[in-house]
Structure formats: structure tokens, C-alpha cells
Amino acid sequence: MTAVPTRHRARRPLWTQHACPRCAGDVLAVLRLPHGWRTEQGTEVTGFTEIVLCARCDLDDPITGPIVTFFAVHEIATDRTVDVLARLIRRWIENARPARLDQAALDAEIDAWYRGDL
């Protein structure tokens, strides 16, 4: 009997398993923030929302751009650079807000669906 070689792949972090939902580009990091609302009946709905940091979409943002640039220059954090990265990520966390629903865009998409355009 001959041994059959097997291949094992390390499981990648969740955010690297999917492309950016905005542009399909590379995701560098994901923030998971507590998120919730009250229903019309007054019931509290709680959970998490994720904010994706994309190498392409977030480069020009004054808060996230420096993080994208950090990874473009350094690739990974080292003992020498971790303090810089930590400051950049703290700033991102302090300014991160879940995206607001664009009601006009949602209404337009619903209309397009009813017309059969989607």
C-alpha cells in the first residue's frame, strides 16, 4: 500500500475569504461593531455590523488611507512598526460608524426589480 500525499491548507481569516463588497478588491481588515435598533413594536434588536477596510476603496479616506498605506509599505506589523499601526487602527475605530441606509437607492433598486430590470 502506498501513502497518498495530502495537502492541508491553513484556514484564512474570515475577512480574507471574501473580496470587498464594494469593488471586489483586497480586504485588509474588518471592524465588528455592536449595532442595534428598536422595532416599531419597541423590541430591541441587537447584533454586529462589519466595516470592511479595502485597499482600493479606502485609500483616499483621511482616516483609513494611512492604514492602507501602512500595509502597502510594510506588508505586516513588526515589533518596530506595531505602535504606528495601533495608533492608526485606534483612530479608525474611534471614527468608524455603520453605513446609513440610502433610502433613495433602496427605493430605486426595488422599482428596478418590479420593472424586471434586475
Please indicate, yes or no, if residue 66 is contained in any of the structural domains.
Answer: yes
Cell numbers standing for residue 12? 484564512
Q: Would residue 6 count as lying in a domain?
A: no
The rounded distance, in Å, linking the Cα atoms of 2 and 4 is 6
Which residue, chain included where needed, has cell 460608524? 97
Assess whether pLDDT exceeds 60 at residue 43: yes
Helix (H, G, I), strand (E, B) or coil at 85: helix
51: in domain: yes
DSSP-assigned states of every residue in 52-70: EEETTTTTTSTTTHHHHHH
Q: Is residue 32 part of a domain?
A: yes
Q: Is residue 30 part of a domain?
A: yes
Q: Average pLDDT, stretch 18-25?
A: 86
Reported confidence tier of residue 17, pLDDT bands at 50, 70, 90: low
Residue 57, domain member (yes or no): yes
Number of separate domains in the chain: 1
Q: What is the pLDDT of residue 4?
A: 45
Is 103 a domain residue?
no
| Full domain range(s) for residue 48 | 16-96
* Residue predicted with more confidence, 102 or 8: 102
pTM over cut 0.75: no
> Within a domain: residue 102?
no
> Are 36 and 44 spatial neighbours (Cβ–Cβ below 8 Å)?
yes
Cα gap 78→93, rounded to integer Å: 21
